[in-house]
Chains A and B, each alone.
Chain A
Amino acid sequence: MKGPMFFDSIAVAVDKERICRRLGYEKGATRLSETQEREAGRRIDEAFSLIQLKGSALILGLNECGRGKVVLENGIVFESADLSAMLKECGQVLLMGATAGSRIIPYIRGEAAKGDLSRAVIYDAAASEIVDSALDWLVSYFNQKLLRENKRVTPNRFSCGYGDFSLINQRKIHAALELEKIGVKITDSCILDPEKSVTAVAGIVSAAD
Chain B
Amino acid sequence: MITKKIIYNLLKKRVLILDGATGTQLQKIGMPAGVCPEKWCVENSDAISSIHKAYANAGSDIIYTATFGANRLKLNEYGIKDVAGINRKLAAIAKKSAARENVFVAGDIGPTGKFVAPFGDLPFEEAVDIFKEQVRGLLKGGVDLFVIETMMDIQEARAALLAVKETCDKFVMVSLTYEKDGRTLAGTDPLTALITLQSLGADAVGLNCSTGPREMLDAVSRIRPYAKIFLFAKPNAGLPRLKDGKTVFDMDVRQFASCGAALVRAGANMLGGCCGTDPEYIKNLVRVVKSKKPFLPLRKSISALSSGRGNIIFGRDEPFCVVGECINPTGKKDFAKELAEGKFDILRRLARDQQAAGAKVLDVNVGAGGIDEVKAMREALSVLSLATELPLAIDSSKVEVIAQALRLYPGRALINSISAEKDKLSRLLPLAAKYGAMFILLPLTSSKIPYEFSERKKIASAVLAKALKYGFTKDDIVVDGLAMTVSSKPHAGIETLKTIGWASGELGCQTIIGLSNVSFGLPKRQWLNAAYLAMAAREGLSMAIANPLNAELMNAVRSADVLLVRDVRASEYIKHFTVPPAGDKKNTDEVFSPGQRIKDAILEGEKREIKDFIALALDKKISAQNILNDIMIPAITEVGRRFETKHYFLPQLIAGAEAMKEGLNYLEPILAKQGGGPREKVNIILATVKGDIHDIGKNIVALILKNHGFNVIDLGKDAGAQKIVARAKKMDASLIGLSALMTTTMVNMKEVIDLAKKEGLSCKVIIGGAVVTKAYADSLGVSYAKDGVEAVRVIKGLMNSK
Contacts and interface: CB of A to CB of B under 8 A. Distances in A.
Interface of A: 5-9, 11-13, 20, 23-26, 29-36, 38-40, 42, 45, 49, 52, 89, 108, 112, 115-118, 120-122, 124-125, 137, 140-141, 143-145, 147-152, 154-155, 160-164, 166-168, 189-191, 195, 205-209
Chain B binding surface SS class: loop
Given A30-B646, A121-B651, A151 B703 contact: no
A152 B183 CA distance: 20
B33 A149 contact: yes
Nearest to A125: B650
A191 B247 contact: no
Given A8-B115, A121-B696, A205-B242, A141 B185 contact: yes
B387 A49 contact: yes
Interface in B650-670: 650-655, 657-658, 661
Interface residues of B, number: 73
A189 B703 contact: no
B649 A23 contact: yes
Contacts of B587: none
B658 A116 contact: yes
A30 B696 CA distance: 22
23 contacts: A5-B113, A5-B114, A8-B121, A9-B118, A9-B386, A13-B183, A25-B649, A29-B645, A29-B646, A30-B646, A31-B647, A31-B648, A33-B580, A45-B352, A115-B658, A117-B700, A118-B605, A118-B655, A150-B24, A150-B247, A166-B744, A189-B718, A209-B245
Contact of B352 (A6, A30, A38, A49): A49
Nearest to A36: B652
Interface of B: 21, 23-24, 27, 33, 68, 113-115, 118-121, 150, 152, 177, 179, 181, 183, 185-187, 209-210, 236, 240, 242, 245-247, 275, 309, 348-349, 352, 356, 386-387, 578, 580-581, 604-605, 643, 645-655, 657-658, 661, 690-694, 696, 699-700, 703, 718, 742-745, 771
A208 B33 contact: yes
Given A30-B649, A140-B179, A167-B745, 7 more contacts: A9-B118, A23-B649, A34-B581, A35-B581, A189-B718, A205-B246, A207-B27
Given A40-B651, A49-B348, A34 B578 contact: yes
Contacts of B247: 147, 150-152, 206-207
A121 B650 contact: yes
Contact of A112 (B150, B242, B696): B696
The listed residue with most B CB atoms (<10 A of its CB), out of A161, A190, A208, A209, is A161
In the A-B complex, the 7 residue pairs with the smallest Cβ-Cβ separation, listed nearest first, are A148-B23, A161-B742, A11-B187, A167-B744, A29-B646, A118-B654, A35-B580
A109 B309 CA distance: 31
A129 B107 CA distance: 41
A116 B693 CA distance: 19
A201 to B, nearest CB: 15
A117 B652 CA distance: 11
A11 B183 CA distance: 10
A152 B703 contact: no
A104 to B, nearest CB: 13
A8 B120 contact: yes
Given A23-B651, A29-B646, A150 B604 contact: no
Nearest to B275: A147
Contacts of A115: 658, 661
Contact of A118 (B275, B309, B658, B692): B658
Contact of A30 (B33, B113, B181, B648): B648
A89 B247 CA distance: 13
A7 B117 CA distance: 11
The listed residue with most A CB atoms (<10 A of its CB), out of B120, B179, B247, B718, is B247
Contacts of B580: 33-35, 38
Given A9-B119, A141-B185, A89 B744 contact: no
B396 to A, nearest CB: 25
B699 A112 contact: yes
Contact of A161 (B185, B648, B744): B744
Given A38-B580, A189-B718, A117 B152 contact: no
A82 B700 CA distance: 32
The listed residue with most B CB atoms (<10 A of its CB), out of A121, A162, A205, is A121
A147 B150 CA distance: 11
A29 to B, nearest CB: 4
B112 to A, nearest CB: 11
A145 B152 CA distance: 11
B658 A195 contact: no
Contacts of A190: 691
B118 A108 contact: no
Given A117-B654, A149-B33, A206-B33, A144 B119 contact: no
Contacts of A195: 693-694
Nearest to B242: A152
Contacts of B27: 149-150, 207
B650 A160 contact: no
A38 to B, nearest CB: 7
A29 B647 contact: yes
Contacts of A118: 605, 651-652, 654-655, 658
A195 B652 CA distance: 25
A30 B647 contact: yes
Contacts of B700: 117, 121
B245 A163 contact: no
B386 A52 contact: yes
A21 B205 CA distance: 38
Contact of A162 (B643, B699, B742): B742
B744 A160 contact: yes
Nearest to A40: B651
Nearest to A164: B743
A18 B24 CA distance: 36
Given A9-B118, A34-B578, A118-B651, A167 B691 contact: yes
B693 A191 contact: yes
Contacts of A7: 115, 120
Nearest to B119: A9
A157 to B, nearest CB: 14
Contacts of A116: 658
Contacts of B209: 144, 147
Contacts of A208: 33
Contacts of B23: 148-150
B352 A140 contact: no
A144 B120 contact: no
Contact of B210 (A35, A40, A144): A144
Contacts of A24: 643, 646, 648-650, 653
A33 B604 contact: yes
